[in-house]
Amino acid sequence: MPVKNTDILVIRNDKIGDFILILPAISWIKKNIPQAKITCIVSKEVSPLAKHCKNIDNILVDTSIKELIKELNKLSFDISISFFSTFRIGYILKKINIPIRIAPKTKLAQFFYTHRILQKRSKSKKPEYEYNIDLVDEMFQIIQLKNIENIDGTPYLSLDYEESIKHRKSFIEKYKLNENKKIIFIHPSTGGSSKGLSIDLYANICKGLRKFDDYNFMIHTSKHDIKIAKRLIDEAKTDVSIKMIDTTDDLSEMVSNINICDIFMAGSTGPLHIAGALNKKTVAFYPKKKSSTSLRWETINDFKKRLSFSDINKSKKYITIEFKKTLLEIQKFIGSDDIV
C-alpha cells in the first residue's frame, strides 16, 4: 500500500473524555503520515468538539446503521481503527469492505476485524491514551512504516489565537476578575457514577488557597448541576468569593471558556480532559476503583502540568484526601511560574 496517500477511518463514538484520549494517537498518525486523510466517526454530542482537532480532516456523526453505511460508501478507506470495539461498528466496517480493520480483541465484535490487539484495558496497567496509541503502532507495523517519529506535543485542540485573546478579555470584564491573578476553574460535578469530592472539601480547598494568594475562583458546570454549584458558592462565601460561569450546552463555547483558565480542578470528567487537551494545568481527583484509576484516566497535557490525587477511602460516598498535604501540593503546583 502507498503509505503517503493513505485514507484512514478512526472511530470513537461515545463520550467526551473517551474521544479526547484518542487525540495523541491521531496526532501520531499525522506526524508520521502527514498526507494521510483521517476521517473520524464521533457521537452527535462530541461532533462540535471534533471540529477543534487539527489532525482530523473529516468528521462523520454516528447515526443509524443504514445512514452510516450510505455515508461511508461515498468514501474510500485503506484502513480503519476502532479505538473501542462494538459489534455494530464492526459489522459496518466489514460491510463496506475496508481491507485493513484494526480493533481491540474483545468479545464477539473482534471477528469483524482483520487485526485484533489483546489489551485488557480494565486492568488499568497504563493510561487509556497509551492503549489507543498501541492500535496505531499496530497499524505502522502492518503497513511496514519505517523510521517512526515521536508523537507531537500538546495542545491537541486548536483555537483561533486572536479570538481567544478577545474572549479572555471580555470574560475577565464580564465576571470582574483580577487580570493579574491566576484563574482557577472548579468543576465540582462528576457527570457519572464515580464518586467525587464533597462540596465541603472543594470549599475548604478554595479557602485554603485564598490564604496563599488572591486567586480568581470560577465554577464551571453544566445546566444539570447548577444546584451543586450554588451550594459550593454558599459554602465558601464567608471566606472566599467564588463566581459561576454561565452554563452552556455548546461544546465549542465550552472549549473557549476552558481555554481562559490557568488551572482546571475536577474529578475525572469530560471537561477535565478538554482542559488537558488544551494543555492547561489540571488538578484531578480519582476514585480508587480499578477501572477508574489516576493512571488509567490521566489527562493528555504536558506531564509537568498534571497533578492528581487518589481516594484514600475514608468515605463510601465521596473521594477523600489528606487535606493539609494535598492543599500544600496544589498551592506549590499552581504557584509555579510555567503558566502559559
Q: What is the pLDDT of residues 288-329, one digit of tens each?
A: 888 888 999 999 999 999 999 999 999 989 999 999 999 999
Q: What is the pLDDT of residue 199?
A: 95
Q: What is the pLDDT of residue 193?
A: 57
Q: Cα Rg for the chain, rounded, in angstroms?
A: 21
* Same topology between domain 3-142 and domain 162-334: yes
Residue 167 parent element (H or E): helix 161-174
- Cell numbers that stand for 105 in this block: 480483541
Q: What is the pLDDT of residues 77-112, one digit of tens each?
A: 999 999 998 899 999 999 999 999 999 998 888 899
Task: Please tell me what DSSP assigns to residue 285.
Answer: E
Phi, then psi, of 27 in degrees rounded to 5: -60, -40
Q: What is the pLDDT of residue 335?
A: 85
In the chain, domain spans: 3-142, 162-334
Give the least confident one: 34-43, 189-198, 320-329. Answer: 189-198
pTM of the model: 0.94
Query: Is the pLDDT assigned to residue 278 strictly greater than 90?
Result: yes
Mean pLDDT of 256-279: 96
Phi, then psi, of 199 in degrees rounded to 5: -60, -40
Q: What is the pLDDT of residue 3?
A: 62
The per-type count for the chain, helices as H runs and strands as E runs, is: 12, 12
Q: What is the pLDDT of residue 147?
A: 87
CATH no., domain 162-334: 3.40.50.2000
- Cell numbers that stand for 121 in this block: 484495558
Q: For domain 3-142, give the fold.
A: Rossmann fold (3.40.50)
Q: What is the pLDDT of residues 117-166, one digit of tens each?
A: 999 888 889 999 999 999 999 999 999 998 899 987 789 999 999 999 99
Q: What is the pLDDT of residues 43-63, one digit of tens each?
A: 999 999 999 998 999 999 999
Query: Is the pLDDT assigned to residue 337 strictly greater than 80?
Result: no
Residues 118, 120, 121: CA angle, nearest 5 degrees: 120
